């Protein structure tokens, strides 16, 4: 949340804070496992997930918003080869995680307000003070373009309007 006054375009309500964090709770692969099989086939916590023999790491796609000198942060899941996943898990649990990597993978989240983001190529950069940064590899996709060029406050408001449960 950021202190910022804005009027909701759909209901005209005045807000004094702007949400900057949105997150997908699980990778697409997890969501596709029928609930009655999840106990046997999956393992998930806030930042790591396994589905069968696939390994996923949660990170943040950060989009710079110059007008408010902050980022919009979209929590998303990246699939990495299992050996890399084990290295990331170990690095994240130890000191100086940022010395490890970067790690290449594939985005396995569908992000709201974008054309399908599943399978975009991504790189995970581990950080000492936060979950990994996800950098979308250069391509034509809007998500890459917005991460590279940044977004406007109006675009941030578009996210808030679409995703805030009550407003
Ligand atoms: Zn509204």
| Residue reference for tokens 């990994």 | 132
pTM: 0.94
CA 160 – ligand 1 centroid, Å = 9
The predicted pLDDT at position 166 comes to 72
Residue 167, pLDDT > 80, answer no
* 3 within some domain: no
By the CB criterion, residues less than 5 angstroms from ion ligand 1 are: 8, 10-11, 167
CA 86 – ligand 1 centroid, Å = 43
CA atoms within 13 A on the CB side of 133: 16
The predicted pLDDT at position 89 comes to 94
Whole-number mean pLDDT of the chain? 95
* 164 within some domain: no
Share of the chain above pLDDT 90, in %: 89
**Total number of domains constituting the chain:** 1
CA 113 – ligand 1 centroid, Å = 16
Task: Give, in degrees to the nearest 5, the angle at Cα 153 between 63 and 110.
Answer: 45
* 14 within some domain: no
* 167 within some domain: no
* 161 within some domain: no
* 125 within some domain: yes
pLDDT (mean) for 13-32: 94
The predicted pLDDT at position 1 comes to 82
Q: Determine the structural domain holding residue 47 and report its residue range.
A: 21-150
Query: Mind listing the pLDDT tens digit for each residue in 44-76?
Result: 999 999 999 999 999 999 999 999 999 999 999
CA 5 – ligand 1 centroid, Å = 14
* 8 within some domain: no
pLDDT (mean) for 36-50: 97
* 158 within some domain: no
């Amino acid at each position: 949340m950021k202190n910022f006054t804005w009027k909701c375009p759909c209901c005209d309500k005045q807000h004094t804070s702007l949400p900057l964090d949105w997150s997908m709770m699980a990778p697409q692969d997890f969501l596709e496992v029928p609930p009655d099989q999840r106990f046997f086939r999956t393992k998930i916590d806030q930042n790591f997930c396994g589905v069968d023999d696939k390994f996923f790491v949660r990170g943040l796609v950060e989009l710079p918003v110059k007008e408010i000198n902050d980022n919009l942060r979209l929590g998303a899941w990246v699939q990495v080869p299992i050996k890399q996943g084990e290295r990331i898990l170990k690095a994240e649990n130890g000191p100086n995680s940022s010395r490890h990597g970067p790690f290449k993978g594939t985005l396995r989240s569908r992000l709201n307000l974008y054309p399908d983001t599943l399978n975009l190529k991504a790189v995970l950069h581990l950080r000492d003070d936060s979950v990994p940064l996800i950098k979308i590899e250069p391509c034509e996709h809007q998500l890459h373009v917005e991460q590279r060029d940044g977004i406007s406050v109006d675009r941030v408001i578009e996210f808030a309007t679409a995703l805030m449960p009550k407003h």
